[in-house]
């Protein structure tokens, strides 16, 4: 699994002009699934992200987690995180898991984040989404978990 985590002051996901997810302070988590990924990777990332200290404390130091600040999350499936651009000019996505593997694992990842105590919403798998990200900081973290 590969995630891009963005700390946000607010975020929103829309499909066909309709808002399907929206949060205030928290995390937008762009999530890519590889063909060999499973429960272990999802569990690891859910625990890691819920407790990742990337929010400022009263002194402005990044000492607080999403749980500490009562933040929320939106998980957005993004197979393009597995783009291979080494050859030519058109990215290849053969390293991304097929939908029958990716879709349930993205949903399970969101469920595991909720189980960690982070209120979590989701984008719509396979849809063309408009993702509004008000990156706060900016803070952007990339985590690969094989």
How many other β-carbons are positioned within 10 Å of the β-carbon of residue 2?
Answer: 21
* The one catalytic residue among 79, 109, 116, 121: 79
78 is catalytic: yes
Exactly one of 41, 78, 116, 120 is catalytic; which is it? 78
Q: Is 120 a catalytic residue?
A: no
Q: Which two tokens stand for residue 9?
A: 């002051």
**Beta pairing, strands 2-15 & 26-32:** antiparallel
What are the residues facing 5 on neighbouring strands?
29, 141
Which distant-in-sequence residues (6+ apart) come within 8 Å of 10 by Cβ?
22, 23, 24, 25, 132, 134
Catalytic machinery residues = 78-80
């Amino acid at each position: 699994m590969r995630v891009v985590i963005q700390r946000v002051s607010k975020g929103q996901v829309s499909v066909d002009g309709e808002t399907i997810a929206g949060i205030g302070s928290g995390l937008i988590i762009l999530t890519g699934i590889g063909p060999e990924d499973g429960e272990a990777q999802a569990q690891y990332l859910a625990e890691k992200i819920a407790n990742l200290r990337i929010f400022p404390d009263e002194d402005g130091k990044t000492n607080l987690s999403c749980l500490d600040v009562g933040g929320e999350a939106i998980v957005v499936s993004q197979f393009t995180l597995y783009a291979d651009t080494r050859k030519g000019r058109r990215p290849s996505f053969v390293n991304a898991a097929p939908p029958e593997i990716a879709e349930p694992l993205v949903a399970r990842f969101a469920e595991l984040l909720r189980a960690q105590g982070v209120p979590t919403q989701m984008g719509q798998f396979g849809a063309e989404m408009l993702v509004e990200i008000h990156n706060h900081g900016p803070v952007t973290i990339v985590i690969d978990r094989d």
